[in-house]
Amino acid sequence: MNQSILHIKDLRVSFNQHKDKMNAVTDVSLQIDKGQTVALIGESGSGKSITSLSVLKLLPSNGKIEKGTITFNGKDLIQQSETNMRKIRGNEISMIFQDAIASLNPNMKVGVQITEGLKYHKLVPKSDLKQEALQLLEQVGFKNPSHVYSQYPSQLSGGMKQRILIAMAISCKPQLIIADEPTTSLDVTIQRQVLDLIDQYKTDRDASVLLITHDFGVVAEYADWVYVMLGGHIVESADVFTIFKNPVHPYTKALIGSIPNPENGQERLKSIKDYTFENVGYEGRRFAPETYSYESKAFNAPSSLFEVEPLHYVRFFNEREVISLG
Ligand SMILES: Nc1ncnc2c1ncn2[C@@H]1O[C@H](COP(=O)(O)OP(=O)(O)OP(=O)(O)O)[C@@H](O)[C@H]1O
Ligand SMILES: [Mg+2]
């Protein structure tokens, strides 16, 4: 039996904006086992970042967790105090934020920046911080750690900065790394190097990774398990082999069909707007996205996950409403 490290159950997150309330994440459940990489994939605005920010309780100030539990190593994070969350963030769970490169401090040497977490969590004596930083720089592939230690972010390329972020993320040896589109702005070769580093860390320490991505090619290569998000809902989940062999939801099929292929020049994955959903898709059940509204960015009707084969779940409009295929 695999050991679950993170279990999000029935998470609902809402935002207040101009007196309106809207659900950005609705009834999301997701599980990550020790040693696993779990991918969360979906189009822009589907709720990937909001789901992951909920884990660390770092939602924007107008966002609220309405419902659900987020169990990490047996504790419900939603119930933890801010003091406890500070002990967990960066130490037990680290996050590589979307667009984090922009958050590197331009006025601080990168070598010093990567030891901030170690210093904050008092994991090594002050006198050892530099040595630790040099080791981390080496670990993330820098051949000349002492030179890089003294550089400022502006002196580094995008790929190098991303490696600095990984050094920061792994510095305290977390059990879970959440990587929110860590490679979006990088070219393909550098992307692989960055993802390989995260993967290597996971393997070395039997840690776990929540990998947020737009790219099913990345999923194929790095993930053990996949959750597909659409309009704030999980619409399909399964192990990576099953999802490629037998994608059921039309949106998953569309995503897999849009894996970037340099030969046909298609670079971006299709968005839901480019895709016409089937009316009847699987054993007479209708899929939820029929009821997806762009205006309200929400599903207007109840929908439910259905186990189409063992441990392979797909969301339908209403499983009780069986439509004749005749
Ligand atoms: N501060 C906020 N106020 C109101 N709505 C927000 C806020 N932050 C996010 N949202 C909304 O929540 C929804 C989910 O956003 P989220 O950032 O999780 O999307 P995402 O899947 O990470 O997209 P991307 O791939 O572009 O990063 C979107 O509809 C977004 O507009
Ligand atoms: Mg995002």
In a domain, 74, yes or no: yes
Closest to 28 (Cα-Cα) out of 243, 291, 312, 303: 303
CA of 44 to the centre of ligand 2 (A): 7
**Which phi and psi (to 5°) does residue 29 adopt?**
-125, 140
Q: Which residue has the tokens 């047996």?
A: 74
Percentage, residues of the chain above pLDDT 90: 64
In a domain, 24, yes or no: yes
CA of 184 to the centre of ligand 2 (A): 11
- Ligand 1 nearest-atom number relative to CA 214: 25
In a domain, 108, yes or no: no
CATH number, domain containing residue 185: 3.40.50.300
In a domain, 277, yes or no: yes
Ligand 1 atom 22 nearest Cα: 49
User: Which residues, chain by chain, have CB under 5 Å from ion ligand 2?
Assistant: 48-49, 98
Q: Is the CB of 296 under 6 A from ligand 1?
A: no
> What mean pLDDT do residues 172-184 have?
93
d(CA 89, CA 94): 6
Q: Is the CB of 46 under 6 A from ligand 1?
A: yes
In a domain, 135, yes or no: no
The residue whose CB lies within 8 Å of the most ligand 1 atoms, and thus the one to mutate among 15, 25, 40, 180, is 15
Q: Is the CB of 16 under 6 A from ligand 1?
A: no
In a domain, 145, yes or no: no
pTM metric for this prediction: 0.90
Lowest-confidence pick of 8-22, 39-53, 193-207, 308-322: 308-322
pLDDT tens string 238-255: 999 999 999 998 889 888
Given a cut of 60, whether residue 294 has pLDDT beyond it is no
Ligand 1 atom 6 nearest Cα: 15
3-state secondary structure of 232: coil
- Ligand 1 nearest-atom number relative to CA 52: 18
pLDDT tens string 109-168: 999 999 999 999 988 999 999 999 999 999 999 999 999 999 999 999 989 999 999 999
In a domain, 62, yes or no: yes
CA of 324 to the centre of ligand 2 (A): 39
CA of 101 to the centre of ligand 2 (A): 14
Q: Is the CB of 42 under 6 A from ligand 1?
A: yes
Ligand 1 atom 8 nearest Cα: 60
Given a cut of 50, whether residue 324 has pLDDT beyond it is no
Distances (CA, A) of 284 to 235, 237, 251, 280, 319: 17, 20, 17, 6, 9
Q: Is the CB of 44 under 6 A from ligand 1?
A: yes
What is the extent of the structural domain holding 44? 4-100+175-316
d(CA 27, CA 305): 10
CA of 210 to the centre of ligand 2 (A): 13
Q: How many structural domains compose the chain?
A: 1
Q: Is the CB of 24 under 6 A from ligand 1?
A: yes
In a domain, 225, yes or no: yes
Burial of 85 (0-12, 13-18, 19+ CB in 10 A): middle
pLDDT tens string 302-319: 567 889 999 999 988 655
Ligand 1 atom 5 nearest Cα: 15
**Which phi and psi (to 5°) does residue 65 adopt?**
-80, 115
